[in-house]
Amino acid sequence: MNVTIIGSGYVGLVTGACLADLGNHVFCLDVDQAKIDLLNSGGIPIFEPGLKEVIERNVEAGRLVFSTDVAASVAHGEVQFIAVGTPPDEDGSADLKYVLAAARNIGRHMDGFKVVIDKSTVPVGTADKVAAVIRAELAQRGVQDMSFSVVSNPEFLKEGAAIEDFTRPDRIVLGVKDDVEGRQALATMRELYAPFNRNHERTRVMDVKSAEFTKYAANAMLATRISFMNELANLADEVGADIELVRQGIGSDPRIGYSFLYAGTGYGGSCFPKDVQALASTGREHGQVLRVLEAVEAVNRDQKQVLVNKVFARFGHNLLGKTFAMWGLAFKPNTDDMRDAPSRVIIGALLRAGASICAHDPVATEEARRVLAVDFAEAPALLDRIRFAGKPMEAVQDADALIIVTEWKAYRSPNWTALKTAMKAPVIFDGRNLYEPHAMRQNGVHYIAVGRGGHG
Ligand code: UDX
């Protein structure tokens, strides 16, 4: 099948590469010439395990092309995936300008039936807006008898596991209209996704609005679990309970399950913060305050400060002359994504309190430099006190304490003797609960974690 992907960002690239891998001919469009040039010269603008290989083999096979040519992109695909960004507006609602610009281009150039797929996470009702924009463009051209259908097909990819998630989906949600064009679009989508449904039907067909809502509901539910556990972890610290044991104790109930119950430094990334805000904003637009969700967000904002408060509790609020090692910058392992990463809040607070930082991350250092330059645009001199180390052990050299922010595998079993020798004093603030408090005590490490009974 000929497939067009509008937007060669994270979702677009993964979708395009994986669909090409199934034998489709995929045309990836982007307005950013530099990004397209990079892709055409064999570079990949994001870090995602396995993506480079999938892209390379499909470019080589002639099934995957990258271009900025809008007219050619519309002509290419019977299916047109809209996978552009939906950044939050000032009030937290999703900004649809890129989505609607993509729709406008489709309407302007289409010359036959098109299935237009909203892949970006968009508020309920967006498919109607996309359809209205396409219709308006067709009317402008004086075209009356050209049909299309807008399908909602939200993505549930996790960064760092996106290829796996795309090729082995738990479910494929398809929101389609119950009319002639909608049924035709559904048949096309079923054909496109047939390889994923061979042994087990994973498609969930529903109306368009329910499909749009499903994506927000899924992310909001997961974010709720995290904030709930973080709030309990803070209480566990006060009462002397261990949140890790509590997690196991409740996760074994199949109604609760083990996933997404890890307390930590708060959720970040490109989806949860944005989607929670956007759903809350949809609620407000409809005169309904989503109280649970508003609390989820507030708890998460505070949680990014929890490690900082633990540092202040031990070292005081004036950290001048103190050096902290930091392990992990990305919002989670296996990605270089720094969007809404807790590390940014922690770095900001420590530098403002006078501390120096030596940070390590296996892949996110460059991205961290870039975003920190933006975060500290008003006070760039503060950045003189942060350095980046090439190895975890380099970062801890002469540090007053180590702060663990991202649970990369490389941090799970450090050489304790080397670590203790390198540091001024063996003090660890662990935002990801990587180690066992009793083992740390035996090890002579002063260990302060999240929700492990206050004494780490
Ligand atoms: C998420 C959804 O999982 C995915 O389905 C959707 O398409 C996009 O948003 P992603 O942002 O890649 O994916 O990351 P995810 O692995 O879900 O983690 C999100 C955040 O929650 C991270 O900051 C992570 O550290 C945090 N988290 C996750 C916890 O703090 N505790 C947990 O138990 C799980």
CB atoms within 10 A of CB 126: 24
- Ligand 1 site-directed mutation target among 51, 153, 158, most atoms within 8 Å of CB: 158
ipTM greater than cut 0.85: yes
Question: For residue 407, which atom of ligand 1 is closest to its CA?
Answer: 25
Question: Which ligand 1 atom is the nearest neighbour of the CA of 340?
Answer: 23
Neighbour tally for 128: CB within 10 Å: 14
The domains found in the chain, sorted by start residue, are 2-206 (3.40.50.720), 236-448 (3.40.50.720)
User: Residue 454's pLDDT is what?
Assistant: 66
Report CA-CA distances (Å) from 421 to 315, 393, 438: 21, 10, 20
Compute, in angstroms, the gap from residue 272 CA to the centroid of ligand 1. Answer: 7
- Predicted TM-score (pTM) of the model is 0.93
Active site residues per annotation: 271
Query: pLDDT (tens digit, 9 = 90+) per residue, 239-281?
Result: 999 999 999 999 999 999 999 999 999 999 989 999 999 999 9
Q: Does 273 sit in the ligand 1 pocket, CB within 6 Å?
A: no
Lateral strand order in the sheet of 386-388? 386-388, 356-360, 323-327, 401-404, 427-430, 446-448
Is residue 219 within 6 Å of ligand 1 at its C-beta?
A: yes
In this structure, the residue with its CA closest to atom 10 of ligand 1 is 158
- Nearest residue by C-alpha to atom 5 in ligand 1: 156
pLDDT at site 91? 82
Q: Whose CA is nearest to atom 21 of ligand 1?
A: 267
Contact 226, 267 (CB under 8 A): yes
157 lines ligand 1 (CB under 6 A): yes
Q: Does any ligand 1 atom lie closer than 6 A to the CB of residue 265?
A: no
Give the pLDDT means over successive 10-residue stretches in the chain (456 positions). 96 97 98 96 93 97 98 98 90 90 98 96 94 97 94 94 94 97 98 93 97 97 98 97 97 97 96 93 95 97 97 98 98 95 98 98 97 97 97 98 98 97 97 96 96 75
pLDDT of 90: 81
